[in-house]
Each structure stands twice: as C-alpha cells, then as structure tokens.
Chain A
Amino acid sequence: MAWTWFHRLASPPHVYGLAARLTPWFGWPAAVLILAGLYGGLVLAPPDYQQGDGFRIIYVHAPSAWMSLMVYVTLAISAAVGLIWRMKIAHAVAASCAPIGASFTLAALVTGSLWGRPMWGTYWEWDPRLTSELILLFLYLGYMALRSAIDDVQRADRASALLAVVGVVNVPIIHYSVLWWNSLHQAPSVMKLAKPEMPAAMLLPLLMMLAGFTLFFVSLLLVRLRGEILRRERTASWIREALTG
C-alpha cells in the first residue's frame, strides 16, 4: 500500500498531469527568491573588502555552477533508475535535464571567466574549478550528442543512461585530478573564488539565489518532462484526453 505512490510515478499519464499542475508551484517561488536574491546581492550586501563590488558576480556564478553539478547528478540518478527499474519516466527525466545543465555549465564558465579577469588579469587561467567545469560541459555535450546520434528512442535512452552513469562516477576522479594537476603547477590563484569571508548580509542573498535556481530547475524540468513523456508515449490513448482536456 505504501508503494502505490512509487508505482503511480511510473504511470506516464499520472506524471504528465502532475507535472502540469506542479509547475507554477515551483516557478513562482523561484521567481520571487531570485528577484529577492538579486536585490539583496546587488543592493543590500556590502562590498567585499578585498574584491570590492566585483565579488557580486558570485550571485550569478555560484548558482550556475551549483546548477551544472546538481543537474548532472540528477541526470545520472534518473538514468540509473531508468536502467535498473526500466522506467521510461526516469529516462524522460534524464533527457529533460541535459539541455538545462549544459546551458548553466556554459553560464558558470563565462561568469567564472569574467570574475577571474579583474582578479587574475586574464580571462582564463586553467583554474581547477573552471577546468573541471569545462570537462563537465564536455560530458554534457557527449551525452546530448550520443542521444541525438541514435534514432530509436529506447536505445538512445539506455545508451545515454549508461554513459551518464559512467560519467558521474568519473566526476569526482576528474575533479581531484584537475585539482592535483593545478596545485602542482602553482597556478596564480590569487583569489579563492568560492569562499570569501561571508557575513550574513552577503550570505543570505546567495542562499536565496541557490534555492531560487534550484526551484527554477524543477519547474523547467517539469515542463520538459511533459514533452519527453509525449514523445515516448507516441499513440497511447490517454494522450488524446490530455491534449484536448
């Protein structure tokens, strides 16, 4: 009896309807949190004693970087669930994650580079975190490339799911390798981009942005998920009602 909610999650029409109903419940709070975070970060937070107003980039860089990693893990977990329990929905979730994660990885790279420029003097310094982000972007692109290269949706689902699982296992290995490589060569990492000393006035907007972006991701996921479900359900009878009702 307790597992019916899990079984219902495997039912495409149920999830389709649920996703449609839940989207605004994630979308609007996300907007509120992000706007509040923006105001707090741009206006209310005091300038950093070391980086001046330049540190304010953290309010867009950190959420983007967080998104890039969180979305990849979500992708990998749903891919694994799809492989193990053979749930089409799980594969649909994974497929929905990829474009979102890839675009925010790009955002993280560009904002990180812009943040580094006044601090390092150049737009790119092979900083370990940015280099790891770059490799993560390649992982996303590879995943999306594999998906589009295989015509059969089911085979594409399973093949890309395996790739995602192999990839996520590699992410910590890649991260620590890059960190080690970077420390060896004493890269001019003048600033610890991630962790300046953070009084509450600075930290609170950051937390709001992180939470806001997370909710935003869920709302995007729910929208994309509906499309992915439709694509996988093809001519199932419930679709007629769902689209006309």
Chain B
Amino acid sequence: MNDFFHMGGYARFVWPSYALTLAIVVLNIVWARRSLARASEEARRRMPIQSAPP
C-alpha cells in the first residue's frame, strides 16, 4: 500500500497531477450545471411577463 502512495519516488509529481485533473473534472461538472441553472432561472423570470393580461 505504501509503495502505491510512494509511486517509486515520483509521488509528489504524480498525485498532484491526478488531484488537479480530478479537480478540473469536478469543476467542469459544477460549472456546467450552474450555467444551466442560471439560464433556466433567467428564462423562468422572463415568463410571467409574457402571460400578463393585455
């Protein structure tokens, strides 16, 4: 197990690489979903104006 973490001495390059890539994957998921949520929110806000009686 220790050998696994040690990565043959390269641990301080390998693990930060994986951590950063994972962070960017997660960031993308969060970012994309937030972008959709914001767009839906704006669209929802625009809706009542349409259905206002003349």
Residues on A lying within 8 angstroms of B by beta carbon are 34, 42-43, 47, 52-54, 56-57, 60-61, 63-64, 99-100, 103-104, 106-107, 110-111, 114-115, 117-118, 216, 220, 223-224, 226-228, 230-231, 233-235, 237, 239-240, 243
Interface size class of B (residues with CB under 8 A): 20 to 34
Closest to B16 in A: A114
Say whether, besides A227-B36, A231-B42, A234-B46, A54 and B27 are in contact (CB < 8 Å).
no
Q: Is the interface of B mostly helix, strand, loop or mixed?
A: helix
Give how many A-B residue pairs fall within 8 Å (CB-CB).
101
Besides the known contacts A43-B4, A230-B40, 11 further A-B residue pairs in the complex with CB atoms under 8 A apart: A53-B9, A60-B21, A64-B21, A103-B27, A107-B21, A114-B17, A117-B13, A223-B35, A239-B43, A239-B47, A240-B50
Asked if A216 and B14 make an inter-chain contact with CB atoms under 8 angstroms apart, the answer reads: no
Q: Given A64, A227, A240, which contacts B38 in the complex, CB threshold below 8 Å?
A: A227
B19 CB, min distance to chain A CBs, angstroms: 9
Closest to B38 in A: A227
Asked if A235 and B46 make an inter-chain contact with CB atoms under 8 angstroms apart, the answer reads: yes
> In the complex, which residues of chain B have a beta carbon less than 8 angstroms from the beta carbon of A52?
8-10
Asked if B17 and A110 make an inter-chain contact with CB atoms under 8 angstroms apart, the answer reads: yes
> In the complex, which residues of chain B have a beta carbon less than 8 angstroms from the beta carbon of A107?
20-21, 24
- Considering the chains assembled together, what is the distance between the CA atoms of A124 and B31 in angstroms? 29
B14 CB, min distance to chain A CBs, angstroms: 6
Residues on B lying within 8 angstroms of A by beta carbon are 4, 7-10, 13-14, 16-18, 20-21, 24-25, 27-29, 31-33, 35-40, 42-44, 46-47, 49-50
Asked if B35 and A227 make an inter-chain contact with CB atoms under 8 angstroms apart, the answer reads: yes
Asked if A216 and B25 make an inter-chain contact with CB atoms under 8 angstroms apart, the answer reads: yes
> In the complex, which residues of chain B have a beta carbon less than 8 angstroms from the beta carbon of A34?
25
Closest 10 CB pairs of A and B: A227-B39, A53-B8, A54-B10, A60-B21, A227-B36, A53-B7, A52-B8, A230-B39, A223-B32, A111-B17
> In the complex, which residues of chain A have a beta carbon less than 8 angstroms from the beta carbon of B42?
230-231
Complex A-B: 29 CB contacts under 8 Å: A34-B25, A53-B10, A54-B8, A57-B13, A60-B17, A60-B20, A63-B21, A99-B28, A106-B24, A107-B24, A110-B20, A111-B20, A111-B21, A117-B13, A118-B13, A216-B25, A220-B32, A223-B32, A223-B35, A224-B32, A227-B38, A227-B40, A228-B39, A230-B42, A231-B39, A235-B46, A235-B47, A243-B40, A243-B43
